[in-house]
Amino acid sequence: MKSRRDWIRKDIDVNGAEESYKTDPARVGLSNATGIYVRALDQDKPESVDIAQLNKESLLRWLRSRGGRNEWAENVVLILLGHSTTE
């Protein structure tokens, strides 16, 4: 079984925020939408944010962060969180 330390991502900046995860300012009202929180840059400030607040690119990066890629499941999550499934 992996320890908690093994699950921590290695791409964290000096302030503790995931460099690759960013919020979408239009999604600020979704702060408690899923109850799943990640470290991300919110208006260039590191914060713990609900995954529903992430921009589409960051959300997809987070979904793929533990390895693997499942396009069908990714599209389902995008739809459930109100993102477009087209580019």
pLDDT digits (tens, 9 = 90+) for 12-28: 444 554 457 999 999 98
Q: Are 62 and 54 in contact (CB under 8 A)?
A: yes
What is the pLDDT at residue 16?
Answer: 53
In this predicted structure, what is the pLDDT of residue 35? 93
Burial 42-66 (b: 16+ CB within 10 A, else e): beeebbebbbbbbbeebbbbbbeee
Per-residue pLDDT at 85: 81
Residue-wise pLDDT for 30-82, tens only, equals: 888 899 999 999 888 899 999 999 999 999 999 998 888 899 999 999 999 99
